[in-house]
């Protein structure tokens, strides 16, 4: 391999592994240098889906989620959508687990999420969760595509697995923390099993292993390009689901939104007057409520640095007026 073609992945400070070890049933990676070429599938995927990733990270639903604006109802529906997606994906991966282009990325014990999602749904919807959830209009084309790919072109399952599992092991971990805080979910992890990969010790090491396994798959350049294209398609399907959730969010009654958006302010401020919370008051003031506009002004005046800034402005204004009228 031409040296100028080699890339050393520098995203992570500890350099990479190409082999794996199993410790107590948990996969960990060792620390050899990972030498990558731009024609490696992992590099083609990372490069070829950059824009799609940026779009996904910056869509309104994800931005709101990251700010903790995730009503419980929406989180439940999002979990249900994921359940249908993983059900389809893991069913197809299972059917194709001996396929030479799927076998290297077959990690059921470490990655598969269906059971974890079922536990989360039981937590949110109760024992009858299965009859309470349904496949949404925007999740259906995603699920149909996964089944289609599994039956017609199993190599493309690599794209679907990459898009979801690598994302779950990366940004998903941020979402877990946000959801736990915003929805006040128990620290025991109930409702968040999806984000908890019990069989993986060290997400970065596992992601390196996964990349090296993707690179081991025997693929011609054309098929690699098709996998990148399919991954972009998978990002697109995820965006469709987010947009659908965002639309549903707009219809959720304000009361329910308030409970979730305010980080359960009423609960946080237990025994205290919620109107004393400057963030709550500022939020209500910006919504145009006159009571809160006055209260917000009062709160500002009680705030020492604000008083100093205000006094400076008044002095400046008085000085300017005096100079002007001279
Ligand atoms: C909440 C918004 C998101 C954040 C903050 C986020 C963050 C990140 C970060 C920090 C990485 C780099 C991890 C690394 O190099 O090891 C990453 C990688 C990745 N993310 Fe996201 N992400 C978000 C949303 C998504 C979504 C919605 C998807 C797809 C459904 C996704 C799919 C991926 C994939 C496939 C990778 C692996 C890239 C590679 O190394 O090849 N992410 N994400």
Domain limits, the chain: 3-252, 275-325
Q: Mean pLDDT, to the nearest integer, of 227-241?
A: 98
Residue nearest to atom 5 of ligand 1 (CA): 171
Structural fold of domain 3-252: Heme Oxygenase; Chain A (1.20.910)
Residue nearest to atom 28 of ligand 1 (CA): 167
pLDDT at 245 over 50: yes
In terms of C-beta density within 10 A (0-12 exposed, 13-18 middle, 19 or more buried), how is residue 197 classed? buried
Q: Which helix (H) or strand (E) holds 183?
A: none
Q: Is 55 helix (H, G, I), strand (E, B) or coil?
A: helix
14 lines ligand 1 (CB under 6 A): no
150 lines ligand 1 (CB under 6 A): no
pLDDT at 113 over 90: yes
Q: Best substitution site from 10, 43, 85, 166 to test ligand 1's pocket, by max atoms within 8 Å of Cβ?
A: 166
Give pLDDT, residue 61: 97
Q: How far apart are the C-alpha atoms of 279 and 274, rounded to whole Å?
A: 10
62 lines ligand 1 (CB under 6 A): yes
Residue nearest to atom 40 of ligand 1 (CA): 46
**What's the 293 CA to ligand 1 centre distance in angstroms?**
40
Distance of CA 134 to the CA centre of its chain: 22
What does the DSSP assignment read for 220-283?
A: -HHHHHHHHHHHHHHHHHHHHHHHHHHHHHHHS-HHHHHHHHTTSHHHHTTTS-GGG-HHHHHH
**What's the 96 CA to ligand 1 centre distance in angstroms?**
26
16 lines ligand 1 (CB under 6 A): no
Q: Which of 31-45, 103-117, 173-187 shows the lowest mean pLDDT across its residues? A: 31-45
143 lines ligand 1 (CB under 6 A): no
pLDDT at 171 over 80: yes
Q: Which of 45-49, 102-106, 248-252 shows the lowest mean pLDDT across its residues? A: 248-252
User: Do the strands 26-29 and 35-36 form a parallel or antiparallel pair, or are they unpaired?
Assistant: unpaired
57 lines ligand 1 (CB under 6 A): yes
Average pLDDT, the chain: 80
Distances (CA, A) of 152 to 108, 145, 147, 232: 22, 10, 9, 18
pLDDT at 29 over 70: no
Instruction: Give 314 or 200, the one with higher predicted confidence.
Output: 200
55 lines ligand 1 (CB under 6 A): no
* Ligand 1 atom at minimum distance from 11 CA: 15
207 lines ligand 1 (CB under 6 A): yes
Q: Which of 18-22, 273-277, 316-320 shows the lowest mean pLDDT across its residues? A: 273-277
pLDDT at 20 over 60: no
pLDDT at 133 over 80: yes
Q: Mean pLDDT, to the nearest integer, of 92-120?
A: 98
Instruction: Report which of 215, 223, 174, 217 is spatially closest to residue 195, judged by C-alpha positions.
Output: 174
Q: How far apart are the C-alpha atoms of 37 and 221, rounded to whole Å?
A: 13
46 lines ligand 1 (CB under 6 A): yes
Instruction: Give 287 or 249, the one with higher predicted confidence.
Output: 249
């Amino acid at each position: 391999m031409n040296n100028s073609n080699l890339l050393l992945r520098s995203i992570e400070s500890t350099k990479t592994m190409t082999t794996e070890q199993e410790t107590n049933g948990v996969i960990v990676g060792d620390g050899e240098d990972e030498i990558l070429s731009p024609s490696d599938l992992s590099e083609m995927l990372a490069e070829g889906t950059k824009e799609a990733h940026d779009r996904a990270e910056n869509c309104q639903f994800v931005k709101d989620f990251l700010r903790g604006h995730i009503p419980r109802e929406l989180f439940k529906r999002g979990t249900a959508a994921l359940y249908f997606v993983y059900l389809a994906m893991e069913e197809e991966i299972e059917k194709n687990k001996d396929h030479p282009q799927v076998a290297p990325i077959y990690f059921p014990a470490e990655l598969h999420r269906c059971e974890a999602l079922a536990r989360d749904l039981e937590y949110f919807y109760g024992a009858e969760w299965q009859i309470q959830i349904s496949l949404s209009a925007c999740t259906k084309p995603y699920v149909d595509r996964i089944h289609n790919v599994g039956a017609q072109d199993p190599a493309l399952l690599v794209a679907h697995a990459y898009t979801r599992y690598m994302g779950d092991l990366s940004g998903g971990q941020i979402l877990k923390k946000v959801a736990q805080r915003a929805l006040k979910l128990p620290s025991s992890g109930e409702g968040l099993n999806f984000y908890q990969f019990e069989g993986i010790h060290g997400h970065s090491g596992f992601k390196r292993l996964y990349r090296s396994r993707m690179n081991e798959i025997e693929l011609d350049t054309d098929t690699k390009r098709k996998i990148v294209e399919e991954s972009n398609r998978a990002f697109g399907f995820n965006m469709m689901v987010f947009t659908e959730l965002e639309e549903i969010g707009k219809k959720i009654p304000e009361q329910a939104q308030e409970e979730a958006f305010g980080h359960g302010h009423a609960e946080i401020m237990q025994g205290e007057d919620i109107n004393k919370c400057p963030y709550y008051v500022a939020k209500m003031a910006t919504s145009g409520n006159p009571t809160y506009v006055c209260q917000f002004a009062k709160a500002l005046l009680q705030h020492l640095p604000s008083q100093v800034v205000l006094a400076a402005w008044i002095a400046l204004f008085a000085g300017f007026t005096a100079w002007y009228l001279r």
